[in-house]
């Protein structure tokens, strides 16, 4: 995996994986990082927000608290 650029969303970046450009959302928890690759930037940002909520933190990208 090779870094290609940053995103307008927090904890999301564009990377090259096997010659294909993907968006990677990375969530940091208890000193370790968990990440997942997606076809769209928005999907990666939603993944990060959902992981933050699962861990009792506020979402930072797309999901808005009411």
In this predicted model, what pLDDT tens digit does every residue of 2-42 receive, in sequence order?
Answer: 999 999 999 999 999 999 999 999 988 777 778 899 999 99
Q: Within a 10 A sphere around the Cβ of 13, how many other Cβ atoms?
A: 18
34, containing H or E segment: strand 32-38
61 in Cβ contact with 45 (< 8 Å): yes
Specify the pLDDT at position 28. Answer: 83
- pTM listed for this prediction: 0.88
13 in Cβ contact with 6 (< 8 Å): yes
């Amino acid at each position: 995996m090779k870094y290609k650029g940053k995103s307008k969303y927090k904890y999301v970046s564009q990377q090259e994986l096997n010659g294909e450009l993907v968006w990677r959302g990375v969530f940091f928890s208890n000193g370790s990082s968990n990440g997942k690759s997606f076809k769209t930037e928005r999907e990666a940002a939603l993944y990060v927000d959902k992981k933050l909520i699962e861990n009792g933190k506020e979402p930072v990208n797309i999901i808005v608290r009411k």
